[in-house]
Amino acid sequence: MEWVTRRKRASLSRRDFTRGAAATLLIACSGRQLRADEDIFKFGLTPVFLTSDLELLGHLRAYLSSKIGGPVELVMRRTYQEITALLVSGQIHSAWICGYPYVQYRDSLDLVATPCWHGKPLYQSYLIAPSDRTVDDWRELRGDIHAFSDPDSNSGFLVTRTLLAENGMMPDQFFARHFFTYGHRNVVRAVASRLAHSGSVDGYVWEVMQKTESALVARTRIVRRSEWLGFPPVAAPKSLAGEPRLARFKDALMTMADDSEGRKVLDLLKLDGFVPTKPSLFDAIAAKVETVRRFG
C-alpha cells in the first residue's frame, strides 16, 4: 500500500483556475478526442468504487459489452483528477466520478445516471476514529494525524474541509498533520491500523466494507455523519452528446436490475440500481465548494 504524505495546498480558487486551465489545455493539446466511431467504449472508474475486486470488474465489463453491443474498456487511474481530466477532454466516453469534480466541471459534462443506495441517490461522509477511542464530537479530533481520501473527493476531503471553514479553520490549523491515501478503503485501513488518528471517508464505502471486511471496519467507529448529499454520479462529456452508444450505455445502467448479469454487478456493489437525476441534486456540494472558496 502506498501512502502519500501531506502536501501544501493552495486555495481552492487558485486550484480551480489552474485545473480549469489544465483541462482546457488537455482538450486543445491532448493526443486526440474520441471519434464517434471509436471501436472500444471507454468507461472510467475512480478509486471511490471497489475497483480492486476482479469479480466485480469482470461482471461489469461483460454486462456493459452485451448491452452496448461492442467491447468495453474499464479505464482506472490512481486519482480522481486523472479520470476527470480524461473525461473532460473527451478521451473516454463516460466515467463514474465524484460529486465534487462534477460540480466543478458541470458546464462540460452531462449526467448519465446516479446510483441508488437504500432507495435514494444519496450518501454521507463519515468522520471515523479507532473503535476503542473515546471521542463523541468532531471537535475532539483537534491535533490528530488525519487521513483524507483524495483532494478531489467530496466525502473524503471537501465535506471535512467545509466543516472546518465554517468554524474558521484550515486543516493545517485543526489537525497536527494530514495526508491523502488515494482510496477510501485506505482511509479505513489507516485509521484501523492507527497510522492515522482519524479519517474522512465515503459512508457508502464504509458501510459496504462493514459487510465485506467486517473485522477491519470493526476496528473503527463513526464520530460524525454529514448531511445526505448527491451520490457520486456517472457523467459523460457534452462534446459526445448524441453518440449512439452513450444512449445504449445509459439504458444499460437504468435497466441493470432487470438483467441477471446486471444484478450480479449491483449485488457486488450493494446498490439498488441507477436512476436519472438532475444537476440540482448536487447543489449542496456546489455550496460547499463556494464556502471553501470564500474562506480561502
How does pLDDT run across 256-271, given as a tens digit for each residue? 999 999 999 999 999 9
User: Which parts of the chain fold into alpha helices (H)?
Assistant: 12-29, 54-68, 80-88, 99-104, 159-166, 171-174, 184-192, 203-212, 214-217, 244-254, 260-269, 283-295
Number of structural domains (the chain) is: 2
Please give the pLDDT value at position 184. 94
Domain-embedded: residue 1:
no
* pLDDT for residue 12: 45
**Mean pLDDT within 204-225:** 96
Q: Summarize pLDDT for 24-56 with one digit per residue, the tens.
A: 444 443 445 555 446 899 999 987 665 557 888
Instruction: Give the model confidence (pLDDT) of 219-263 as tens digits.
Output: 999 999 999 999 999 999 999 998 999 999 999 999 999 999 999
Query: In which element (H, E) is residue 45 found?
Result: strand 41-45
Residue 5 inside a domain? The answer is: no
User: In which domain, by residue range, is 117 found?
Assistant: 12-121+231-295
pLDDT digits (tens, 9 = 90+) for 125-162: 999 999 999 998 999 999 999 999 999 999 999 999 99
At 143 the pLDDT is 98
On the question of pLDDT at 115 being above 50, the answer is yes
Cα gap 259→121, rounded to integer Å = 20
The CATH number assigned to the domain holding 182 equals: 3.40.190.10
Q: Is 180 contained in some domain?
A: yes
pTM of the model: 0.86
